[in-house]
Amino acid sequence: MKKNLCILLFSVLFLQNSVAQKIPLQDDFAHTYSIVAYDEKTGELAVGVQSHWFAVGKVVPWVKAGVGAIVSQSFVNIDYGIYGLQYLEEGVHPKEAFTEVFNKDEGAAYRQVAIMNTSGEVFAYTGEQCIVEASHYEGKNFSVQANMMANNRVVPSMVEAYQRNAKLPLAERVLASLKAAQDAGGDIRGMQSAALVVVDGKIDENTNPNVKKIDLRVDDAAYPLAELERLLIVHRAYEFMNEADVALEKKNFSKALQLYVEAEKLQPENIEIQFWKALAMMQSSKKDKGIRDMKKIISQHNNWQHLLYRLVEAEVVPLSKADLKALEQ
Question: What distance separates the 2 farthest-apart alpha carbons in the chain?
Answer: 80
Closest among 209, 216, 213, 166 to 193, alpha carbons compared: 216
Beta carbons within 8 Å of 28's beta carbon, 6+ residues apart? 53, 54, 56, 58, 59, 76
205-222 pLDDT per residue, tens: 888 888 899 999 999 999
- Looking at residue 322, what is its pLDDT? 86
- Looking at residue 326, what is its pLDDT? 87
- Is there a domain that residue 229 lies in? no
- Is there a domain that residue 12 lies in? no
Whether residue 186 contacts residue 150, with contact meaning beta carbons closer than 8 Å, is answered with: yes
d(CA 148, CA 117): 27
- Looking at residue 82, what is its pLDDT? 97
- Is there a domain that residue 206 lies in? yes
- Domain total for the chain? 2
d(CA 302, CA 33): 47
- Is there a domain that residue 18 lies in? no
Whether residue 237 contacts residue 214, with contact meaning beta carbons closer than 8 Å, is answered with: no
- 214 with 289, same domain? no
- 48 with 149, same domain? yes
- 181 with 97, same domain? yes
Q: What is the DSSP letter of 53?
A: S
d(CA 85, CA 113): 13
Residue 150, domain CATH? 3.60.20.10
- Looking at residue 27, what is its pLDDT? 53
Tell me phi and psi for residue 44, to 5 degrees: -75, 150
- Is there a domain that residue 127 lies in? yes
- 255 with 141, same domain? no
- Is there a domain that residue 11 lies in? no
169 beta partners: none
- 175 with 247, same domain? no
| Domain, as residue range, for 285 | 236-328
d(CA 259, CA 39): 25
- 208 with 241, same domain? no
Residue 245, domain CATH? 1.25.40
- Looking at residue 29, what is its pLDDT? 65
Q: Is the dihedral of CA 67, 70, 76, 77 positive or negative?
A: negative
One digit per residue, the tens of pLDDT, for the chain of length 329 reads 444 444 444 443 344 444 333 444 455 666 799 999 999 999 999 999 999 999 999 999 999 999 999 999 999 999 999 999 999 999 999 999 999 999 999 999 999 999 999 999 999 999 999 999 999 999 999 999 999 999 999 999 999 999 999 999 999 999 999 999 999 999 999 999 999 999 999 888 888 888 899 999 999 999 999 999 999 999 999 999 999 999 988 889 999 999 999 999 999 999 999 999 999 999 888 999 999 999 999 999 989 999 999 998 888 888 888 888 888 87
H or E, element range at 17: helix 2-21
